């Protein structure tokens, strides 16, 4: 991408150093609640262009000799087979994926904690499965009155009844497959247990968003609200930090709301609190590594619009709510943007209106917008993709990359043998056909070589695409949006 807005190397260095500093502040033992995605953080890479999706895990590898991972999962989520929407796998399966992924980076996974454990049958079976794989498993239990009944929580009937997690290293990273898993409660329970053993361990929180040291209504922070619109997270000025230091910082409502309780817990455990504000608890250095604020602002604005289109399509499919869409409309107003700010959407919709058929458009890295229309042989998105590859390869518009003699046999196979009612090829089928043609056709070979240049580009379809096509765009790194309407009036869509 040419519009870089974030210094990733600076981030890796500053972030690991900040965590080392926080460990030393607490005498060599720190429990760090790690929010957000450790792997494949594509939201961060979209709104902070230049941020590598694996930045956070790479940062941790710089601390791997001092760090161990504790993965937390809510026993109720195991019981009800809760699914990660972005991956389509259950939380219990994702824990296994995370263990393998951490180990693949050379990080030590010490244990798994089952929170809110109350004898759930599936959770018991899951514990046995993990233990059979050689993983240590601990159980933490529901606590009446959590988080407000502090005298009860900070007692042998509260945190005291949880199992103490045996840890070996100075930095304990507490993470989870998703929100609501109980990461903070696990950290606080361990502080209580460690204090009983004469160890004054510390607590810190690592959340990339909202970024505390950029303005409240900066598009990057508004994009975080857009990403969590279903959770109703709201960015706010941290009143505790402002009162303590006279400095304006940004946090979000849940951390601000829980801080008085958390602060009281620290005082109950230690006799005093090491923090004066929710911002104090954080160690996030991302705001210090924004290298081009204008590029970051534009990236944030585009993310808000993408989230709006995504929820509009989800509402059309029956899997979202109108209040979420309405909140995203408000966020666009706060950012001072509208749908016209997305060039590829305007181009696709104009093309569709002119042709009377579905159309698609992609904005390339240099700002050039390439469109595609529906034909007898290709769907609009496939035509757009081929047109973009031709442009990037410097080929003339009239160059044919896939001849009818290649496309028609595939269509015949789909309709007459595989039972597909739509003869138009999906994008993955087009790319396979292009790969085959590239063996004997120089133009196809040169065009195919441009695929990597599509990563980070913005694209739009005038109709909702199939799950297959959306998945291919995601794998290519193209940021796709769709108008919230189907190509046909059928009741069933794939």
Q: What is the pLDDT of residues 123-140, one digit of tens each?
A: 999 999 999 999 999 999
For the chain, percent of residues with pLDDT exceeding 90: 83
489, pLDDT greater than 80: no
Contacts of 332 (CB under 8 A, 6+ apart): 304, 305, 308, 338
Specify the long-range contacts of residues 379-382, CB closer than 8 Å, at least 24 apart.
Answer: 379/424, 379/425, 379/426, 379/469, 380/348, 380/351, 380/352, 380/461, 380/462, 380/463, 381/427, 381/459, 381/461, 381/465, 381/469, 381/473, 382/424, 382/425, 382/426, 382/427, 382/430
* Position 2 confidence tier, pLDDT thresholds 50, 70, 90: low
415, pLDDT greater than 90: no
* Position 407 confidence tier, pLDDT thresholds 50, 70, 90: confident
CB 433 within 8 A of CB 407: yes
Tell me the C-alpha distance between 406 and 403, whole Å.
5
pLDDT the model gives residue 46:
95
Is residue 32 reached through a cis peptide bond, with omega within 30 degrees of 0 on the bond before it?
no
pTM here is: 0.90
Average pLDDT, the chain: 93
The least confident of 9-13, 72-76, 305-309, 375-379 is 375-379
* Position 493 confidence tier, pLDDT thresholds 50, 70, 90: very low
CB 403 within 8 A of CB 409: no
Nearest in space to 284 (alpha carbons), one of 242, 307, 255, 261: 255
pLDDT the model gives residue 411:
83
- Helices and strands, counts by H and E, the chain: 20, 14
The least confident of 214-223, 323-332, 422-431 is 422-431
User: How do residues 42-92 score in pLDDT, each as one tens digit?
Assistant: 999 999 999 999 999 999 999 999 999 999 999 999 999 998 877 789 999
Burial of 6 (0-12, 13-18, 19+ CB in 10 A): buried
Q: Stretch 234-243: mean pLDDT, rounded?
A: 97
The CA-to-CA distance between both ends of the chain, in Å, stands at 33
Helix/strand/coil for 119: coil
Tell me the C-alpha distance between 459 and 470, whole Å.
11
pLDDT the model gives residue 492:
43
For the chain, percent of residues with pLDDT exceeding 70: 98
Question: Mind listing the domains of the chain with CATH numbers?
Answer: 8-214+237-288 (3.10.630.10), 342-494 (3.40.140.40)
β pairing state of 479-482 and 458-461: parallel
CB 447 within 8 A of CB 390: yes
Give the torsion through C-alpha atoms of 437, 441, 446, 449, to 10 deg.
Answer: 30
Tell me the C-alpha distance between 430 and 436, whole Å.
10
Tell me the C-alpha distance between 26 and 276, whole Å.
16
Tell me the C-alpha distance between 36 and 290, whole Å.
19
Overall residue count recorded for the chain in this entry: 494
pLDDT the model gives residue 488:
65
β pairing state of 83-84 and 89-90: antiparallel
Joined together, the tokens standing for residue 36 give 């957000």
């Amino acid at each position: 991408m040419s519009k870089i807005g974030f210094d990733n190397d600076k981030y890796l260095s500053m972030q690991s150093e900040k965590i080392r500093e926080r460990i030393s502040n607490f005498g060599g033992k720190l429990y760090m609640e790690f929010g957000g995605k450790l792997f494949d953080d594509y939201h961060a890479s979209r709104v902070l262009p230049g941020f590598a999706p694996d930045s956070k895990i790479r940062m941790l590898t710089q601390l791997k000799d001092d760090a161990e991972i504790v993965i937390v999962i809510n026993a109720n989520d195991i019981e009800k087979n809760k699914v990660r929407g972005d991956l389509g796998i259950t939380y219990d399966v994702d824990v296994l994926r995370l263990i393998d992924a951490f180990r693949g980076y050379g990080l030590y996974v010490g244990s798994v904690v089952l929170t809110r454990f109350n004898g759930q049958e599936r959770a018991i079976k899951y514990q046995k499965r993990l233990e059979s794989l050689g993983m240590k498993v601990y159980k933490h239990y529901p606590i009446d009155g959590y988080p407000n009944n502090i005298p009860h929580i900070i007692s042998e009937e509260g945190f005291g009844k949880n199992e103490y997690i045996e840890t070996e290293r100075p930095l304990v990273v507490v993470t989870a497959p998703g929100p609501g898993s109980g990461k903070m409660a696990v950290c606080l329970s361990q502080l209580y247990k460690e204090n009983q053993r004469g160890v004054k361990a510390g607590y810190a929180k690592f959340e990339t968003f909202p970024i505390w040291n950029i303005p409240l209504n900066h598009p990057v922070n508004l994009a975080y609200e857009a990403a969590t619109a279903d959770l109703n997270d709201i960015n706010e000025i941290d009143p505790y930090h402002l009162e303590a230091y006279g400095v304006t910082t940004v946090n979000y409502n849940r951390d601000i709301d829980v801080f008085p309780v958390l602060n009281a817990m620290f005082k109950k455990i230690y006799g005093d609190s090491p923090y004066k504000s929710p911002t104090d608890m954080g160690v996030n250095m991302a705001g210090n590594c924004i290298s081009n604020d204008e590029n970051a602002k534009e990236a944030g604005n585009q993310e808000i619009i993408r989230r709006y289109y995504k929820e509009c399509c989800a509402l059309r499919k029956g899997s979202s709510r109108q209040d979420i869409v309405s909140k995203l409309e408000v966020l666009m107003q706060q950012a001072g943007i509208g749908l016209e700010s997305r060039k590829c959407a305007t181009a696709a919709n104009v093309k569709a209106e002119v042709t009377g058929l579905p159309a698609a458009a992609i904005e390339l890295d240099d700002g050039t917008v390439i469109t595609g229309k529906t034909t007898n042989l290709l769907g609009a998105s496939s035509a757009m993709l081929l047109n973009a590859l031709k442009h990037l390869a410097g080929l003339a518009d009239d160059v044919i990359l896939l001849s009818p003699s290649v496309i028609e046999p595939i269509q015949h196979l789909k309709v007459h043998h595989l039972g597909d009612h739509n003869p138009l090829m999906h994008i993955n089928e087009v790319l396979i056909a292009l790969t085959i043609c590239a063996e004997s056709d120089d133009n196809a070979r040169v065009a195919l070589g441009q695929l990597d240049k599509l990563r980070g580009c913005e694209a739009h379809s005038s109709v909702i695409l199939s799950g297959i096509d959306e998945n291919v765009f995601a794998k290519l790194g193209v940021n796709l949006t769709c108008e919230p309407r189907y190509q046909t009036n059928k009741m069933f869509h794939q």
